[in-house]
Structure 1
Amino acid sequence: MKRRAVRRPLTDAGLVAISLLDAWFQGSFDTRFNIACVALTSCALLLRRRAPLPAFVLTVPSVLTSSAVAGSLIAIYALAARTRSRPLLAACAAVFAACYILPWPAPKIGPILALSDVPDLAYGLGLAAAPALFGQLVQARRDLAARLGEITEVREHEQFLAAQSVLAKERAQLAREMHDVVSHQVSLIAVRAGALQVSTLDPDAKDAATTIRRLSVQTLDELRHMVSVLRTSGSPPTELTPQPTLAQLHTLVAGSGIEADLHVDLDGDLPPPVQRAIYRTVQEALTNARKHAPGSSTRVEVRHRDGTVRTTVTNTAPTRPALPLPSAHHGLIGLRQRAELLGGALESGPTPDRGYHLTLEIPIRPRR
């Protein structure tokens, strides 16, 4: 900014000096009227930035009355570098050429213009066209630089959004895995510790079970807060590897810590995304049954009928009070989102016998 503040006055002084030198070389200081026109032209150049068109108009008398044209050409360049009206620019060039060939003062007898003035007219048009084209080139370069700056900003913004999108997906994916895997295991530890705390008669074992259960509950609570923070991104997660398959369902049910039966009736292998969805659904249902319906029995059914895989997890009514384990209430939401991504649906709700059911239906071929 400081350099520009110093450079502008120096540029103005230089252009005014060029205009005065041109008038001096052309002998335009012979009369008072010509001196006034030259002074008017030189002063007009100081207005070329704020008012380029009036500045050009003020330089026209000097072109008409003398051969000093440098000031007017500078004004044409300033106008061309700022205006976007090409007809206006062409009209100014025509006015310059006309004033350049018109005699001053006009003859009292005979025509003002003759056929021999055509070359002079062409020369005047070419003389005016040079700064006009150069000014338009400078304007185009300025516009191109501004457009490139905008494109650069847009690209940087797109890269920022892409990075944020990737980060959001990773955060949501991490939240899903933490809820599906870590919370499942910690809640199982808490349930087993609670059962040991009630059943054992050894004081040391009872204290250890109490400590384990307390720490498990605290860990679940911290996981709940972490999952809530990670889910603020709101983006659908992508899958991590390795991922569970239906071959691991028996291990999952057997290690759930509750009484559960598994029945699988499938025709052939299912796509990996469908297998993962079924596994996570059964895992979430068993976790909820263990947390909210202690003492209940659970039945897990996975069947393939008419191009649709139906997974149903049903538990009976609880026979003991539920442990006060913390919950983020994101499990069913995540399962429903996973099902919708696969074109399926998830339903859940209480049963008439005070139990609970969770049903997942996923088509294994595209719907038509």
Structure 2
Amino acid sequence: MTRFPPWLIDLVLVAVAVADVLVDGEDTSPGKLAVGGIACAALLLRRRHPLAAFVLTLPGSLLLANLAAPAIALYTLAEHTRNRTLLVAAILATSVAASAPWPSDQTDYRPPDTLVAFAYSLAWAGAPVLLGQLMQTRRDLSARLVEIEEARDHERQLHAQAVLARERAQIGREMHDVVAHQVSLIAVRAGALQVAATDPDAVDAARIIRRLSVDTLDELRHMVTLLRAAGGQGTELTPQPTLADLRKLLDSSGIEVELRGELPDELGAPGQRTIYRTVQEALTNVRKHAPGATALVHLWHDSDHYGVTVTNTEPTRPAVSLPSSRHGLVGLAERAELLGGSFESGPTADHGYRAVLRLPR
């Protein structure tokens, strides 16, 4: 829609007010024409000084029968101010100026006629004020709608960023729990093969495999660090292994593991995944940091809680130096916290290690 420049609109309004004064033409004395000219010229001040423009139109309402200049001034004042008391006073002042007999010594002065004229003037002065207030409300509503739309856009962006952050955190956690689990197992097996093999070619191949596995673990550690930094604390977005896969995990762990106890059948999927990941991480740490140790996985439950305790014995041989950033233990604590539980880990009195997961039923 084409918008006219403000100065052009002001000139048109002044021209309309001048025409209103000239068309009335009942009294063309220089004094009254000067008052009418001041009222018309005051409209040029209406944008920056609406109250001053209105005040300058009052003498014209008192001395002349002009309608355009006061109406325009009232509309501008109502559009720019939020002071309802001032607007009521402006309506009354305009109505009194337009209906009061002037000069006061008029011979045909009749009070009833003045009251009727005041009532008409009151309705006439209230119309531009109501229109100005309507335009002000429309402008406020438009600005409010723009603010609401901007707020919704901002919320959508925040939601998209939160989803992306959770996905990054989930990818980082799965890389640590799954990929690093398998690569560390390869490194440990390659190290054992390097020590036990007698063929020089096999020893060299095992050494290369172990070195590449260690390098891969180091790269994974850096990638997990970056993903966790970008993703923050996230929750699972995709299905994970459950307790049905626990036996397979123990059999493929590469260490001697004893499984004791059981858990209720009605456990939810989040709790089962958390227990699985806890056992997986604990056994991975046993392989990495306690070579030759045996482990005990104890599933337990009571009336209020359920969980798992993974305990390993003292290592029987030196550990293979593998990269570690302790993200696994941090991730286990986060998983437990998401379900309202707790995770604790630490060394035992017999130089072993214990990890305990406790979740509410």
Q: TM-score, structure 2 length as denominator?
A: 0.93
Q: Is the 8 A contact 1:28 1:38 kept in 2?
A: no
What is the alpha-carbon distance in structure 2 between the residues aligned to residue 265 and residue 65 of structure 1?
A: 101
Tell me the CA shift for residue 269 of structure 1. 4.8
Q: Which residue of 2 aligns with 1:215?
A: 212
Tell me which moved more, 334-343 or 70-79. Answer: 334-343
> 2:310 aligned with 1:308, yes or no?
no
Q: Aligned partners of 1:307 and 1:268: how far apart in 2?
A: 15
Greater Cα shift, 69-78 or 81-90: 81-90
Q: Distance in 1 between matches of 2:121 and 2:58?
A: 13
Q: Which residue type is aligned with residue 92 of structure 2?
A: A
Distance 2:165 2:281 in 1: 23
Is 1:7 equivalent to 2:5 in the alignment? Answer: yes
Please tell me whether the aligned partners of residues 48 and 78 of structure 1 are also in contact (alpha carbons under 8 angstroms).
Answer: yes
1:82 counterpart = 2:80 = yes
State how far apart, in whole Å, the 1-side matches of 2:219 and 2:326 are.
14
Q: Distance in 2 between matches of 1:26 and 1:78?
A: 23
Counterpart of 1:66 in structure 2 is 64
Tell me the TM-score normalized by structure 1. 0.92
Shift of 1:141: 0.4
Moved over 6 A (4+): none
- Residue identity opposite 2:225 in structure 1: S
Q: State the match for 1:201 in structure 2.
A: 198
Aligned to 1:330: 327
Whole-angstrom CA distance in 1 between matches of 2:264 and 2:102: 104
Alignment partner, residue 182 of structure 1: 179
State the partner residue of 2:134: 137
- AA aligned opposite 1:285: A
Matched, 1:167 2:176: no
Counterparts of 1:210-359 in structure 2 under 5 Å?
210-232=207-229, 233-241=231-239, 243-359=240-356
Residues 94-109 of structure 1: matches in 2 within 5 Å? 94-107=92-105
DSSP-derived class of the 1:127 partner: helix
- Does the CA contact (< 8 Å) of 2:39 and 2:60 recur in 1? yes
- Count of aligned residue pairs for this structure pair: 359
Rounded Cα–Cα distance in structure 2 between residues aligned with 1:29 and 1:21: 14
Retained in 2: the 8 A contact 1:246–1:278?
yes
Cα offset for 1:317? 1.7
The Cα of 1:206 is off from its aligned counterpart by 2.2
Shift of 1:250: 1.9
* Residue identity in the other structure for 1:90: V
Give, as a single letter, the amino acid of the residue that structure 2 aligns with 1:142.
R
| Unaligned ranges ≥5, structure 2 | none
Distance (Å, rounded) in 1 between the aligned partners of 2:86 and 2:302: 78
Shift of 1:315: 1.2
Which ranges of structure 1 fall in alignment gaps of 5 or more residues? none
Cα pair distance change 1:316/1:73, threshold 3 Å:
same
Specify the code of the residue in structure 2 equivalent to 1:98. Answer: V
Q: Secondary structure at the match of 2:355?
A: strand
Residues 287 and 123 of structure 1: CA distance in aligned 2, closer, same or farther (over 3 Å): same
Aligned partner of 2:34 in structure 1 is: 36
Alpha carbons of structure 1 residues 171 and 312: separation in structure 2 relative to 1, 3 Å: same
Instruction: Describe the shift of the 1:268–1:69 C-alpha distance in structure 2 as closer, same or farther (beyond 3 A).
Output: closer
Q: Which residue of 2 aligns with 1:191?
A: 188
1:316–1:139 Cα change, 3 Å: same
Q: Deviation string for 1:201-235 (max 9, x for gaps)?
A: 22322222222212211221121122112212323
- Offset at 1:113? 5.4
C-alpha distance in 2 between matches for 1:212 and 1:259: 24
User: Does structure 2 conserve the Cα–Cα contact (< 8 Å) formed by 1:28 and 1:34?
Assistant: no
Q: Deviations over 1:211-264 (max 9, x none)?
A: 2212211221121122112212323312422x2122222211121112222223
Given that residues 316 and 355 in structure 1 are in contact (C-alpha distance below 8 angstroms), is that contact kept between their aligned partners in structure 2? yes
Q: Which whole-Å CA distance do the structure 2 matches of 1:11 and 1:269 have between them? A: 77
Could you tell me how far apart the structure 2 residues matched to 1:293 and 1:130 are?
A: 89
1:176–1:237 Cα contact (<8 Å) kept: no
**SS of corresponding position for 1:81:** helix
| Aligned counterparts of 2:110 and 2:205: Cα–Cα separation in 1 | 116
Task: Return the offset for 1:307.
Answer: 4.4
Bigger mean CA deviation after superposition, 58-67 or 312-321:
312-321
Pair 265,12 (structure 1): closer, same or farther in 2 beyond 3 Å: closer
Matched letter for residue 303 of structure 1: W
Distance in 2 (CA, whole Å) between partners of 1:129 and 1:264 is 86
Amino acid at match of 1:26: D
1:114 corresponds, among 111, 114, 124, to 111
C-alpha contact 1:28 1:35 (8 A) present in aligned 2: no
Q: Distance in 1 between matches of 2:303 and 2:55?
A: 86
